[in-house]
């Protein structure tokens, strides 16, 4: 019987996940099905339980996307340390009636940086823009890569300061650098080797008040959004630095989820190239 997987979200029609996982399954010879499920607000747990209870073949896992990652966090009976740090779950595994929550977003970003972009976070001065869910999900994985520094800058300074403080005292984590949390005015005169936009400003076309100096020579500017040129990408381009969008992170977080479920790591380069061609 074919093992069943799905992605839950709202909206979900645009999701590339079914195609990505179908390609991973074909490449690795895994017998799985993967569907996209639209969930109405307030019905997340019911939708997951219905997916587990009905259908032919055992339900083995699911991805969770906007706006249900925090609900998935609460639904999971057990969570991985990286899901706990993220405060959100994007990958569920169903094992013997138990729902296990994981978060592969941060690992996806780090793999995209290291393997696809040749940008190892180790020793780099990193600027993370934003202090919402997307930013929180990548802080621990970035810190574990031993950057020279990690500065979290946010429109609301207090949220950045609180987040930085929280990640400065993680029990049991061998982290060499403590993050700093500031407002955008605090960026004046500062330079970074990797600037990651984890704000949702790009989705509304809003321009971030970034001084050009934040983009150091040979800096990589990483936009978590994909499929459009955002004002952040234009700012970085105008500063003459290398720009990447979040398509690689999407593919790599999916590959990490596939690995969690199937124990096999698919190759991502061919898929990424195919998706880029369609962009």
Q: Which of 159, 161, 180, 191 binds ligand ATR (CB under 6 A)?
A: 159
Which SS3 state, helix, strand or coil, does residue 180 take?
strand
Q: Report CA torsion sign: 116, 118, 122, 126.
A: negative
How many CA atoms lie less than 13 Å away from 34 in the CB half-sphere?
24
Q: Which residue is nearest to ligand ATR (CB)?
A: 132
The yes or no reply on residue 208 touching ligand ATR (CB under 6 A) is yes
When the beta carbons of 246 and 266 are compared against ligand ATR, the nearer one is: 246
When the beta carbons of 56 and 204 are compared against ligand ATR, the nearer one is: 204
When the beta carbons of 143 and 152 are compared against ligand ATR, the nearer one is: 152
Q: Judge whether 16 counts as a catalytic residue.
A: no
When the beta carbons of 66 and 238 are compared against ligand ATR, the nearer one is: 66
The yes or no reply on residue 151 touching ligand ATR (CB under 6 A) is no
The yes or no reply on residue 87 touching ligand ATR (CB under 6 A) is no
The yes or no reply on residue 27 touching ligand ATR (CB under 6 A) is no
b (16+ CB within 10 A) / e for 128-143: bbbbebbbbbbbbbbb
Q: Which residue in 16, 69, 114, 178 is the catalytic one?
A: 69
Task: Give yes or no for a cis peptide into 22 (omega within 30° of 0).
Answer: no
Of residues 156, 111, 150, 155, the one with CA closest to residue 257: 111
Take residue 116 and report the two structure tokens written for it.
Answer: 């696809």
The yes or no reply on residue 154 touching ligand ATR (CB under 6 A) is yes
Q: How far is the CB of 54 from ligand ATR (least distance, A)?
A: 30
The yes or no reply on residue 235 touching ligand ATR (CB under 6 A) is no
The yes or no reply on residue 196 touching ligand ATR (CB under 6 A) is no
How many CA atoms lie less than 13 Å away from 210 in the CB half-sphere?
30
The number of residues that bind ligand ATR (CB under 6 A) is: 15
- Report the alpha-carbon distance of residue 176 to residue 62 in Å, rounded: 34
Q: Are 103 and 86 in contact (CB under 8 A)?
A: yes
Q: Which of 45, 177, 206, 264 binds ligand ATR (CB under 6 A)?
A: 206
Contacts of 183 (CB under 8 A, 6+ apart): 153, 154, 155, 156, 157, 160
Secondary structure letter of residue 208 according to DSSP: P
When the beta carbons of 32 and 187 are compared against ligand ATR, the nearer one is: 187
Q: How far is the CB of 106 from ligand ATR (least distance, A)?
A: 13
Q: Among residue numbers 109 through 138, which ones bind ligand ATR (CB under 6 A)? A: 130-135
Where on the chain is the footprint of ligand ATR (CB under 6 A)?
130-135, 154-156, 159, 199-201, 206, 208
Catalytic site positions: 69
């Amino acid at each position: 019987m074919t093992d069943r997987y799905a992605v839950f979200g709202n909206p979900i029609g645009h999701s590339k996940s079914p195609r990505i996982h179908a390609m991973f399954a074909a490449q690795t010879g895994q017998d799985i099905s993967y569907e996209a499920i639209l969930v109405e607000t307030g019905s997340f747990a019911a939708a997951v339980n219905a997916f587990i209870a009905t259908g032919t073949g055992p339900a083995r896992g699911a991805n969770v996307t906007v706006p249900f990652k925090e609900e998935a966090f609460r639904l999971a009976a057990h969570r991985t340390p990286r899901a706990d740090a993220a405060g959100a779950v994007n990958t569920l595994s169903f094992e013997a009636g138990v729902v296990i929550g994981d978060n592969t977003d941060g690992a996806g970003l780090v793999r995209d940086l290291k393997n696809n972009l040749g940008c190892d976070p180790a020793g780099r001065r990193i600027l993370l823009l934003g202090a919402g869910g997307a930013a929180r999900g990548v802080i621990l994985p970035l810190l574990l890569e031993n950057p020279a520094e990690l500065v979290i800058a946010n429109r609301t300074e207090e949220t950045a300061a609180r987040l930085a403080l929280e990640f400065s005292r993680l029990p049991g984590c061998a982290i060499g650098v403590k993050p700093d949390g500031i407002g955008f005015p605090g960026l004046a005169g500062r330079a970074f080797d990797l600037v990651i936009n984890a704000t949702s400003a790009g989705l509304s076309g809003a321009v971030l008040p970034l001084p050009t100096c934040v983009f150091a020579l040979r800096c990589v500017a990483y936009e978590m959004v994909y499929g459009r040129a955002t004002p952040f990408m234009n700012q970085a381009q105008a500063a003459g630095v290398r720009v990447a969008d979040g398509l690689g992170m999407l593919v790599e977080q999916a590959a990490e989820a596939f690995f969690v479920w199937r124990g096999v790591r698919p190759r991502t380069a061919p898929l990424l190239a195919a998706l880029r061609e369609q962009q």
